[in-house]
Each structure stands twice: as C-alpha cells, then as structure tokens.
C-alpha cells in the first residue's frame, strides 16, 4: 500500500503532462489549419470588400459557430460596415499627348474632384488661355502650407475653371503616383472641368522649353464605388456584469491594391494577420471550456484595418454596445514570427494601473518581453483606447516579409504562436476574479525591454 501511495503523485503528474502535450499538439494543429486556409491563394489576400474577404468571414463565422459561440453581429455573426463611397476612374479613360496614349494610373491619374467628360486642344507651353486646356506647373506656385496638396490642386482647378479653362493638367508635383491614387479615396464634389495629374516623365515633356506646342486629348469617365467590409463577431455569455473583448483583424492587402504597387501580385498575409485570427479562435476554444465565468467574452475578427481601422471604429461606435461594461480589450496583430532575440512586444500596459502586476504574475522572467505603455498604435486596439477602455496589444515585430508577397503560412513560428496563446489565456484567467480594470490615459510610447 505504501508503494502505491508514493507512486500516485508521479502517476498523476505524468498524466497531467501527457494531457498538456496532447492539448498543445491539438492547438498547434488548429493554428496551422487556420493560417493555411486564410493565407491560401483561394482567399486572394483577403482585401476588404473583395470576394476573398467574404470567404474568410464565412470561415471565421463557421469556426465560431462550431465553438458554440453566440452570434453577435448585425446579420448572424456578420457585421457589415461602409468603408468608402466615392468614385474611381473607369477603364475607358484616355489621355493622348501628341497622339501618344498615356497609361492610366501611372503616367496620368484623374483627380478625385475632376469632372467626367472630354477636353482637347493645341496647348502652348507656359501659356494658359480661355477655351483651352491649362498646364499648371505646381513647382512654380506659391503653395499655402496650411493646405494639403490635394486642397491646393482643387483650389487651382477652381481658378482655372473660373478663368475659362476647358481642362487642367498638373505637372512637376512632388507627390508619387501612389499618393495620388490614395487621394481617390476622398469623396469630393466634382468641379466643372477635367483635371488630371501627370507623373515626372510626362512632366519633363510638358516642361520642355524647346517644345512648340502639344496636341492633347483627354477623355475621362468614372465608376461609382461603394465598398463595404465585414466584421465577424461571436459572444460567450456568462451572465457576468463585465465583458472582455478579444480581437484581431483578418483583412489584408489582396493583390497589392492597398499599396498601389505597379505590379499586382498576391499578398497572402499569413502573419498579417491570419496568425492573430488563428490565435483568437484557439483562445475562444479555451474560454468556452474553462470555468472563467466572471467575465463575458466578445471575439471580434475585424476587417477594414488596412484602410484605417474602419472595422474596429465601427464596432466601438455601435449604439447597442454598452462600452461601460467592457473590462478590457486584447488585440493580436502579426504574432506569428516570434523571435527570442527580438522578443514579444506587449503594448498598452500603461492603459490601466492593474496591467503591470497582472503581467508580472503570469510571465516567465526568462522570456524576452518588450513593453510599450501607449494605448495608441497602428492596429485595432487604438479604437478601444479612444473609448477609454484598457487595452493590451501583442505583436512579434516587423520582418522582411511584412506586407510582402512572401508572408506565407510556411514562414510562421507556430510554437511561438502557441506560447502567445497560452500567455493570453493566463492573463484572462488571472483577471477572472479581479475587479473591473481602471482605465488610464497614456502619453507618447515608452518602450522598455527585459530578459
């Protein structure tokens, strides 16, 4: 009998370790499954509003349903929102300079306030006359530094229109084609004449002092654009007075449209941010089975992150969401490339006086952690911080594949991602029996590191 008594703790310990290893293997397998699907070619880079984003949203919603979460979107698990309502240049646009056609989107770009229509004429360099196209050399203008360059272009177009110009071409601007393409996101009332921007190569031709005249023919047309994104929201209702939000964005760069690259190639977005979504789903799996019932839990897969945190801004502005009941928000963005040398970055520890003690209690002192006190950053936790909610932000740092075509599933450190999942589960467990966290505002980011 004594023999059994002495061996029993060893047997129990061995069974526990075996169960833990089995559970870890299950989580690792799930992480790989989630990341591989979300970053697959089928989803085409998950650009907000594109078909690939909708496939990703459907996958995440199905996973939430299988986990037993309650739908918390406006349409079951889905929460659609408007990203942009404006117009974009149609493929039928044309611009010929001395009978040579120019390339839309690179050599010339219609400005967001341009009129649709046509303008043509024989244009003399440095001579702007009524009833003809004007050439406006931006480099020679007295620019109002209080205005944005887009506002300056609009102002000059209005001056040209009032002076009888039939169209206006801007050249020698310092901005890149990528910047001008981003201006198209602005929904501005159109002026009465066509207005286009010309790149440096075309500007050089227009600025040629030896040129006698230019034969110019412009035809502009626009398509109306209404672009929407979709958050995916699941809920674990423990009938508790306070709620924890755990989120990550799932949208990415598609074929590079958001970077306005000249060559359109698939951006898989395995680390950015299929890794965060995969971790969120596994944390939801843990909390569904755990007995941590002093908080409710909302799990949100945000879209519209790449356009300026549209999804999280929309979520936090919903009238049916009582922000006063939210205990804190945890955000995971690009957590799939953990490198022990660089460490794990944890932002937002200054957003509540309770965070330092909680983190000290659950983190291994041998782990390389980089702390950032600020609640503001380039990800969705910022939208919650702006609503006076404590936040934590998990990030494994930029790398050579960030926002590039090489951010694929085979580059993910799944063991490292598992360790982050466990850490966040420990943090949530630690706060289960504590009072609602007190919010603190933060100043500029202050980064410290410890090993």
Q: Which domains does the chain have, with CATH numbers?
A: 25-85+228-450 (3.40.630.10), 91-220 (3.50.30.30)
Sheet order of strands, 100-101 included = 100-101, 94-97, 214-220, 117-123
Query: For residue 368, is pLDDT > 70?
Result: yes
State which H helix or E strand residue 31 sits in: helix 2-38
380-409 mean pLDDT: 93
For residues 94 and 216, the answer to whether their CB atoms sit within 8 Å is: no
Q: Where are the beta strands (DSSP E) in 98-182?
A: 100-101, 108-110, 117-123, 133-137, 167-171
Q: What is the pLDDT of residues 258-317, one digit of tens each?
A: 665 556 799 999 999 999 999 999 999 999 999 899 999 999 999 999 888 999 999 999
How far apart are the C-alpha atoms of 38 and 155, rounded to whole Å? 45
Task: Kindly give the pairing relationship between strand 296-302 and strand 243-249.
Answer: parallel
pLDDT band at residue 364 under the 50/70/90 scheme: confident
Query: For residue 448, is pLDDT > 90?
Result: no
How far, rounded to the nearest angstrom, does the alpha carbon of residue 370 sit from its chain's CA centroid? 22
- Check residue 19 and give its pLDDT: 65
With 0-12 / 13-18 / 19 or more C-beta atoms within 10 angstroms meaning exposed / middle / buried, residue 191 is middle
Query: For residue 246, is pLDDT > 50?
Result: yes
252-261 mean pLDDT: 76
- Pair of tokens at residue 5: 């008594």
CB environment 125-140: b (16+ within 10 A), e (fewer): beebeeebbbbbebee
- Check residue 186 and give its pLDDT: 85
Among 99-113, 255-269, 353-367, 426-440, the range scoring the smallest mean pLDDT is: 255-269
How far apart are the C-alpha atoms of 231 and 71, rounded to whole Å? 12
Residue with tokens 């412009």: 218
């Amino acid at each position: 009998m004594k023999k059994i008594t002495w061996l029993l703790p060893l047997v129990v310990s061995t069974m526990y370790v075996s169960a833990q290893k089995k559970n870890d293997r299950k989580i690792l397998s799930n992480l790989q499954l989630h990341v591989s699907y979300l970053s697959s070619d089928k989803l085409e880079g998950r650009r907000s509003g594109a078909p690939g984003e909708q496939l990703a949203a459907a996958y995440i919603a199905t996973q939430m349903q299988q986990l037993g979460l309650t739908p918390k979107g406006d349409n079951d698990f889905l929460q659609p929102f408007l990203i942009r309502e404006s117009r974009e240049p149609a493929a039928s646009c044309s611009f010929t300079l001395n009978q040579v056609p120019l390339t839309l989107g690179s050599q010339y770009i219609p400005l967001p306030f341009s009129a649709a229509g046509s303008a043509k004429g024989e244009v003399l360099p440095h001579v702007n006359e009524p009833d003809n196209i004007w050439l406006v050399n931006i480099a020679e203008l007295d620019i109002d530094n209080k205005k944005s360059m887009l506002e300056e272009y609009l102002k000059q177009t209005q001056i040209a229109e009032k002076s009888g110009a039939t169209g206006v071409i801007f050249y020698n601007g310092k901005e890149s084609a990528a910047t001008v393409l981003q201006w198209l996101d602005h929904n501005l009332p159109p002026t009465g004449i066509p207005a286009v921007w010309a790149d440096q190569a075309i500007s050089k031709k227009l600025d040629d002092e030896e040129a006698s005249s230019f034969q110019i023919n412009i035809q502009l047309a626009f398509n109306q654009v209404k672009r929407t994104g979709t958050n995916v929201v699941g809920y674990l209702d423990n009938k508790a007075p306070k709620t924890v939000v755990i989120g990550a964005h799932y949208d990415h760069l598609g074929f590079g449209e958001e970077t306005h690259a000249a060559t359109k190639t698939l951006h898989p977005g395995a680390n950015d941010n299929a890794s965060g979504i995969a971790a969120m789903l596994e944390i939801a799996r843990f909390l569904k089975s755990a007995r941590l019932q002093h908080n409710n839990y909302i799990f949100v897969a945000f879209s519209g992150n790449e356009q300026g945190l549209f999804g999280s801004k929309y979520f936090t502005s919903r009238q049916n969401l009582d922000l006063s009941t939210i205990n804190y928000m945890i955000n995971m963005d690009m957590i799939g490339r953990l490198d022990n040398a660089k460490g794990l970055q944890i932002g937002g520890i200054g957003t509540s006086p309770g965070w330092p003690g909680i983190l000290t209690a659950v983190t291994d002192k041998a782990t390389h952690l980089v702390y950032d006190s600020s609640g503001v950053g380039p990800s969705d936790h910022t939208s919650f911080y702006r609503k006076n909610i404590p936040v934590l932000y998990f990030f494994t740092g930029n790398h050579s594949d960030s926002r590039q075509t090489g951010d694929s599933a085979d580059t993910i450190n799944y063991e490292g991602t598992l360790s982050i999942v466990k850490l966040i589960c420990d943090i949530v467990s630690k706060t289960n029996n504590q009072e609602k966290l007190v919010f603190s505002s933060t100043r500029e980011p202050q980064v410290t590191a410890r090993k």
